[in-house]
Structure 1
Amino acid sequence: MRKSPFTKSSRLSFRAGLFSAIGVGGVSMGLSYFFFESSLENLLFFGLLLMILTFGIVYAITYRMLIRRMETLNRINRNIARKRFEDYDNLSTGGHDELDYLIKQTIRASKTVEREIQRLNRIENYRKEFIGDISHELKTPIFAIQGFIETLLNGAIDDEEVNRRFLKKAMRNVNRLILLTKDLMEISKLETGELKSEVQSIYLHNVISDVVDNLQYKAQKENVTLEMGAFNENTLVRADRNQIKQVLINLVENAIKYNVAGGSVTVSAQPFSNDPGKMLVSVKDTGIGIDQQYIERVTERFFRIDKSRSREKGGTGLGLAIVKHIMEAHGEEFFIDSAPNEGSTFSFTLTKAEVEQTRPPVDSVG
């Protein structure tokens, strides 16, 4: 076990006292010899006495000034090395010198190291959770495909009705893997900043109308009414058209997927009450809703409230995470308002754009 350098004596104080004593003693003996013509015995006696007094005084003063603060500095550094962090906010060093400054800098360094360790721990926990989730998400369709193929190879391939049904199921799982890979690549690009937002002036009505028209077949298949609320067709916003379209597709598909037979989904836009310079785009459904305890987590990767229903409907668990990242990249806000068995409303803001006379918006035609 390594011995602590801070004991009842102080090497630093000892050296300061020793060097001071030698200096003072030497100077005093020299002055006495030249000016007072003292005998050698008297010179040595008074010089030695002065050296002892000087050593004692300097040692006591430096020890009192330094030892407590040096112990504090050592304790902070030892805690950093052991990854143990204390609250130093009320720590009083009792000095206003270089050592006091060094202690304060060390405390700041300790807090920085603590925050960094916490951040790395969160990343490590997130990585472990992500690896577990992605392994499960990949394993489920792969094992399903393997099972269908093995069944076919064991003789079911000769039955045309059975092999066709199994091949359709295998293809459905292949499509699920393709969607999962696509969503993973997209969210990875969003998180790393590789996917940049090409913000331009776009007609919001055109984007919403395209999404509603393209997803009508899905709504009809689930016996859900999909409609678009009325608002000014000439409303211009500043956004990346493709990314906002992806946001709307993800939200509308979820609203259809987690709806009830005979339910409805309404996509609308209106001026944002908290900021007249923004529009609030909303996707409202009459579906199963979300319990309050889960609302903050639904934008996490792979988080599902009802996992069996999500897999049955073909979801990857990444849709809302992608929505969140796109809105953050745009510097906009994203809201979720929901209640069980009453439906949900997913909303996000978009900044209005001034009409440019010299250059038409990118989607002004068609």
Structure 2
Amino acid sequence: MRKNLFSAISLRTASISSLVTAPTISLLMWYITGLGSFEALLLFILLFAIVFAITYFVSAYLHNSRLNKMTRIIKNVSNKQFENYDDIDVENNDELDELIKQTIRASKMVEKELIRLNKIENYRKEFIGDISHELKTPIFAIQGFIETLLNGAIHDGEVNEVFLHKAMKNVNRLTYLTKDLMEISRLETGELKSNMQEMFLRDVVLDVVENLQYKTEDENIELIVHDFDKNIQIRADRNQIKQVLINLIENAIKYNKENGKVEIGMKDLGESKVEMFVKDTGIGIDPNDIERVTERFFRVDKSRSRERGGTGLGLSIVKHIIEAHGEKLTIESKPDEGSVFRFTLTKVSHVSV
């Protein structure tokens, strides 16, 4: 079919060229030389055959191989098959060569878009599966407490308030889970953009620590902020960096030991980078789990995390924010000894006062 198509193109070109050229030359020769009708007819037939043959083979030589290349590319795109096309050498002699180049570029763009769409689709499937799994526990718990109350426990003064508090605790868990799900969804799909601005790093850290001080007091955890240069400025999204610090410090508190410590500090890495760290004296992470702690819904201690209202999304949010900033997150941990979470930030300036 492909060869017939290209033969038809060459045939059409040769036919039109012959029908224009042969009669024109024949009429001129008849007018100039005074050829008879029979001789003029023979000349027309001879010229038609010669022009047809030359035009057909020249057209086939110039176009068929390039049209074959273009058809190959388009057929692969329609079948969702993609190649590098390193074997296609385009010299850019005319518009057809340029069209082949554009077709190859279009093929690569379609390939990238399909990869992106497949990634989003896989993410959607995983995300829906994760959501349905995580929502079941608090929903079933709320349902159980309400059913128990409706079956008569609501009139029992000793249990009704307890059950309502437990139901409310699970409602709060659903609220936090929904909030984190919305944030991780926007981060993973690239919908949430970073509002980059210059800020003093020490101000951001102290603001977060002040807001979380009550949690350390409730848990009897010592929160230590190491002193560092107040004049160091970074370029980042203020709210997102605060979210990173909040998630890391809350995790350090949640998975700490009784009378434990959480340390927050900064290390100047040189001309353009600083490194923040959050260190705890908690339960630590098994070496086999370190690579997975930033996955959605992965929990080192599932029962402890759920008991304290953890959604399993905190570190995943941290990872995506840090990567969106073009920075690096590293984790060091030993079971029963604690963990250290470090992440880099880009320094803007160091103003001396």
Q: TM-score, normalised by structure 1?
A: 0.81
2:322 is the counterpart of 1:318? no
SS of 2:253's equivalent?
helix
Aligned mate of 1:228, from 218, 225, 228: 225
SS of 2:60's equivalent?
helix
Distance (whole Å) between structure 2 residues aligned to residue 350 and residue 64 of structure 1: 59
Aligned mate of 2:200, from 196, 202, 205: 202
The residue that corresponds to 2:248 in the other structure is 251
SS of 2:264's equivalent?
strand
Distance (whole Å) between structure 2 residues aligned to residue 221 and residue 134 of structure 1: 30
**Structure 1: which amino acid aligns with 2:175?**
I
2:332 is the counterpart of 1:338? yes
SS of 2:27's equivalent?
helix
2:271 is the counterpart of 1:276? yes
Deviation for aligned residue 1:169: 1.7
Deviation for aligned residue 1:290: 4.1
The residue that corresponds to 2:347 in the other structure is 351
> Does the CA contact (< 8 Å) of 2:263 and 2:279 recur in 1?
yes
Matches for 1:1-366 after TM superposition, within 5 Å: 4-7=1-4, 10-92=7-89, 96-187=93-184, 191-193=190-192, 196=195, 199=197, 201-202=199-200, 204=202, 206-219=203-216, 221-222=218-219, 224-233=221-230, 235-237=232-234, 242-261=239-258, 263-271=260-268, 273=269, 275-290=270-285, 295=290, 298-327=293-322, 331=325, 333-341=327-335, 342-348=337-343, 349=345, 351-353=347-349
Deviates more, 1:124-133 or 1:6-15: 6-15
Cα displacement string for residues 102-160 of structure 1 (whole angstroms, at most 9, x for unaligned residues): 11211111111111011111111111222222233223211101101112222333443
Cα displacement string for residues 142-189 of structure 1 (whole angstroms, at most 9, x for unaligned residues): 110110111222233344333333222212111112222333455567
> Does the CA contact (< 8 Å) of 2:231 and 2:351 recur in 1?
no
Distance (whole Å) between structure 2 residues aligned to residue 290 and residue 196 of structure 1: 33
Q: Specify every segment of 5 or more residues in structure 2 that has no aligned partner in the other structure, as ranges.
A: none
Distance (whole Å) between structure 1 residues aligned to residue 207 and residue 43 of structure 2: 103
**Count of residues paired in the alignment:** 349
SS of 2:158's equivalent?
helix
Cα displacement string for residues 39-85 of structure 1 (whole angstroms, at most 9, x for unaligned residues): 22222123212211221222122123322222221222122222222
Deviation for aligned residue 1:97: 2.6
Distance (whole Å) between structure 1 residues aligned to residue 3 and residue 237 of structure 2: 63
Deviates more, 1:99-108 or 1:235-244: 235-244
**Structure 1: which amino acid aligns with 2:106?**
A
Question: Alpha carbons of 1:353 and 1:188: their partners in 2 closer, same or farther (altered >3 Å)?
Answer: farther
Q: TM-score, normalised by structure 2?
A: 0.84
Question: Alpha carbons of 1:9 and 1:179: their partners in 2 closer, same or farther (altered >3 Å)?
Answer: closer
Question: Alpha carbons of 1:276 and 1:95: their partners in 2 closer, same or farther (altered >3 Å)?
Answer: closer
**Structure 2: which amino acid aligns with 1:42?**
E
Identity, in percent, stands at: 53
> Does the CA contact (< 8 Å) of 2:286 and 2:334 recur in 1?
yes
Distance (whole Å) between structure 2 residues aligned to residue 257 and residue 170 of structure 1: 22
SS of 1:10's equivalent?
helix
> Does the CA contact (< 8 Å) of 1:219 and 1:256 recur in 2?
yes
Question: Alpha carbons of 1:86 and 1:313: their partners in 2 closer, same or farther (altered >3 Å)?
Answer: same
Question: Alpha carbons of 1:35 and 1:90: their partners in 2 closer, same or farther (altered >3 Å)?
Answer: same
**Structure 2: which amino acid aligns with 1:333?**
E
Distance (whole Å) between structure 2 residues aligned to residue 340 and residue 298 of structure 1: 14
